[in-house]
Chain A
Amino acid sequence: MAEQFKLITKHLDEPGFSPDIECYLRHGGYAALRKAVASPSRELADGKKLSPQEVLREDVKASGLRGRGGAGFSAGLKWSFVDRRSGKPIYLICNADESEPGTFKDRQIIHRDPHQLIEGMILSCWANDVKLAYIYIRGEMPEGARLLNVALKEVRSKGFLGKNILGTGYDLEIHVHRGAGAYICGEETGLIESLEGKRAYPRIKPPYFPAILGLYMCPTIVNNVETLCHVTHIVNMGAAEYAKLGTPNNTGTRIVSLSGDINRPGYYEIEVGKVTLGQLIHDSNFGGGLKPGRSLKAIIPGGSSSKVLKAGEVFKLNRKGPDGQMSKVDVPVLDLPYDFDSLQQAGTMSGSSAVIVLDDSRSMVVTLGNLSEFYAHESCGQCTPCREGALWLAKATHRLTHGEGRKEDTSYLAHIAQNIQGRTICAFGEAAAWPVLSFVKKFKDEFDAQGAADEAARANGIPPTHRPSPVVTLNLH
């Protein structure tokens, strides 16, 4: 039986555990910070000396920690890209704009254990010589913002934040900034623009890599809530011990948001790669199986942007045999270890670790219609392919779900999505295109059938079951 491994979520559901600092301190809070700032410098084999801050940066790299926001990029490597010679201040931003459909992990941390995040942030700021940091929190989480502000006030009064932190001479201030409700604000450069008070239009890269030209054109680190929390545990456990959690190149733990047609939706923390998709869905410690009488149809494995997996699919994965040789092994979808690399090899991604389970009661056409509507609503509209393509996809899927489908709509949808992915300023293009591309590829029969049925009905004089999509007229001026 697979089990949860509670590192970040250790105390979250404990009776009596409250988000205030006294409770956090009783549970060993801010020990990691005390430990880090008191740690000695480290001499390397080649005689090079690392400052305590550099030691933590190296430790985060050695821990193998990968970003928990969606891209799964090495956190230590990201920190190493920061331009430390520009003479400009370095900023750190905690990305708490958790808005990927299906994802509800960061809000648990913020609502139940805000100090864990703040400690991770202070440590990360200290390690990177950051004097000013921001928590960019989703506008729809007012309670989270309130709790964070309360927590920041507490932490200042305890001397963990502000001037001369713990007598080290190190100064840091953290501000909470509430977004105004746009998915695109979760894209790191869009977030930076928004934080600067502008429209959250993602920036072009090159030249605006946050590590070099980020907030106010200064070097900037943007990390996810969960990622920053892990820094605390890396300090507490030591990088080597931390790296033993999970599987090679997929170290540590992850909080999985399980939702959809399962008996026990919720958030579950696992060692990365130690639990399979099948276990997440069926084990009584996790999803607890499907609804009675239902069978599995599809899994959206990493937030709504990830490519859908079909029940019964088998993937060829690279596996290291006992002899150390790499070979291709057939892995059925439910045996896919839930980690970064296996899902990537299966042609999808673990993204924000939100697993949405669909059973046989679901129409894939309707499901895609729902997703496409979301992306059309959230496209910022800055660049052409996504601005025009996202709404186009939504209109096409709307037709298909309202009796106006055509036989050629399957290839039509693929054509539109194909022309978005890889051509946009930010990854939103992929986010809008991937569900479409994977749905129409893996569930082509269902889309073809819908189109054919609609055509047949129209040929027989049966009117479409829907009211035509309204022509949207804006009256602004």
Chain B
Amino acid sequence: MSAPAIPAPAPAAPAPPPVETLTVKVNGKTLQVPKTHPDWQGKPQPTTMLQAARCGGVDIPHYCYHDKLPIAGNCRMCLVEFGTLMMDPATRKPILNEDGTPKISKSVLPYEPGTPRGAISCATPISPGMEIYADSPATKQMRESVLESLLINHPLDCTICDQAGECKLQEYSVEHGQAGSHFVEAKVHKPKAVDLGPRIVLDDERCILCTRCIRFTKDIAGDDALGIVNRGSYNTISAFQTGKFDNNYTLNTVDLCPVGALTSKDFRFKMRVWFLKETKSLCTGCGTGCNITVGSREGIIHRYEPRENDAVNGPWMCDTGRLNYKWIGRPDRLTEVRVNGQKVTWATAVKDIGSRLIRASSGSVALIASARQTTEELFLLKSLATRLGAVTDSVPREGEADHLLVNADRNPNTNGTRLTGIAFTEAGMQLPLIAAGIEAGTIRTLIVFGEDVTKHGIGPELLAKLEMLVVSDILPNATTAVATHLLPGASHAEKRGTFISVKGRLQKLTKAVESPGDARAEWEFLHELVHDVTGRNGFTSIEGLFNLMARETPAFAGLEWANIGDKGVDVKI
């Protein structure tokens, strides 16, 4: 084996064009901020006061504003007091104080010049020399009063509310609110536990009418399903047809809802959010590779949430992907290592498989790996196959694509199978050849990872002809049932590794929960097997394994595990 090549430094990116800036003051601090910021569609628009404040590390509280939604400006939480340069009408130049600093005219009510007039920082563009007073007494008073208004008709039922712990109403009340309320009237009562759609429940009394959900489903999901009925304080969010808020993105409205109005039928009343451990991971439902956060407690996964990554999924994910976690905790998970039906230890099984494979003649072994395995596992399997002269392939899995996130390729790592050499351009091409080889008796050993081959042209009658059938999987199926060597594997939430999306985004999985029973991450036992068969060693950690793979795989040239980051990197596909 040749010495590992030292990765060439990545070619320096061309210097970005200089960013035009404006000078503004935020809380007394002078800042240079870019003249424009991307709007919700990514188009450059004049920088707003809210964005300028962020540049200075000042977060202005807001409910209705969201970076990726059209601006509504209705919650008024982001009102701030501000001042602009006083201009000489004749010369159109700033009027200066005696010390040379520009005179500032603070915005006041036109009919009551003693009272500051706030502007919504989410929609008000900055102007040169503008001063933003994000923590002035007037700004604080505006926030207090908006919060007081939001709470007068709110049921204050935090103790039984699923949003508690991640509720902006709670958080801002603590940060910006006042302890008491002046309100002594009867509250407005509105519908509770409204069945908005198959996955969403609405509590209208908790709703602060920020319209994030309406804007999301209309402008992002493209399903104009939600609206407001009634008027004034009786305003109520409603689906045009009750129970029919049913597109594949409805659960994003639960994330967007800053309060406990929209809750997920799947998650509500299951777990207090402060008990959840958050783990960065990926959705495995299709080739898009949406970034997710896995919420788990004591080894049980309770929810997936999208994790913002503008290179992949933005802040969204589809409902199908989000709810695709329950199989991980299924009671019939494979948890025992078995050889010829007998429960054995991992050491026994791996040694037995290794010694048999070494004796196998070249060409008598075939290997079918799933495009649901991590790239590292596929790399190890390919090393094994190369040593054994085995024919390899994986199983294609197609569905319908949609306009937003769902990809037609339902495998999360098709590009991993290609780049490691497990599959060719057309995954599944070799499956008929393998079937024919078994039929003809030339293939006598089959290694299957993560697929039920009986559904893909290699039926039980063919499997019965094999001398050895090594199967690793997570859940039982017709193939695992006839395995001579059965190796219980780990779900993506139980291991580390990488997936490569259909667009070539290489991204990391992190381990959220432990595997049940004896089940183990495939790469952990594969590296032992590869060592036994090929004599190669040196990849006992996922970092080392990835870095070795990167050195030997042209598409990953220059990559190191430590450099992938939480949001992944683009690789050449």
Contact = CB atoms under 8 A, between A and B. Distances in A.
A86 interface: no
Nearest to B48: A206
Given A204-B120, A391-B188, A412-B182, A380 B231 contact: yes
A475 B146 CA distance: 27
Contact of B152 (A199, A381, A392): A392
Given A204-B123, A384-B75, A384-B76, A423 B232 contact: no
A377 B231 contact: yes
Contact of B232 (A206, A387, A476): A387
Contacts of B74: 201, 382-384, 425
Given A388-B233, A477-B242, A399 B145 contact: no
A422 interface: yes
Contacts of B111: 344, 347, 430
A401 to B, nearest CB: 14
B205 to A, nearest CB: 10
Interface of A: 182, 199, 201, 204, 206-207, 344, 347, 376-385, 387-392, 395-396, 399, 406, 412, 415-416, 419, 421-425, 430, 468-469, 471-477
B273 interface: no
Question: Closest 4 interchain pairs by CB?
Answer: A419-B145, A381-B235, A388-B149, A204-B73
A445 B568 CA distance: 69
Contacts of B313: none
Interface of B: 71-77, 79, 109, 111-112, 115, 117-118, 120, 123-125, 142, 145-146, 148-150, 152-153, 182-191, 194-195, 208-209, 227-236, 238, 242
Contacts of A424: 76
B191 A476 contact: yes
B246 to A, nearest CB: 16
A399 B186 CA distance: 11
Contacts of A396: 185
Interface of A is mostly: loop
Contacts of A430: 111
B107 to A, nearest CB: 10
Nearest to B208: A384
Given A419-B145, A476-B230, 17 more contacts: A199-B227, A199-B228, A381-B230, A381-B235, A383-B76, A384-B146, A387-B149, A387-B233, A390-B233, A392-B149, A392-B183, A395-B185, A399-B185, A423-B142, A430-B111, A471-B186, A473-B190
Contact of B231 (A182, A399, A415, A423): A182
A399 B185 CA distance: 9
A472 B188 contact: yes
Contacts of A425: 73-74
Contact of B124 (A206, A406, A415): A206
A409 to B, nearest CB: 9
13 contacts: A204-B73, A204-B120, A206-B123, A207-B123, A379-B232, A381-B209, A385-B145, A390-B233, A472-B188, A475-B191, A476-B230, A477-B191, A477-B238
Contacts of A389: 149
Contacts of B229: 476
Contacts of B72: 204
Nearest to B125: A206
B153 A388 contact: yes
Nearest to A390: B232
B193 to A, nearest CB: 9
A424 B145 CA distance: 12
Contacts of B76: 383-385, 423-424
A471 B189 contact: yes
B228 to A, nearest CB: 6
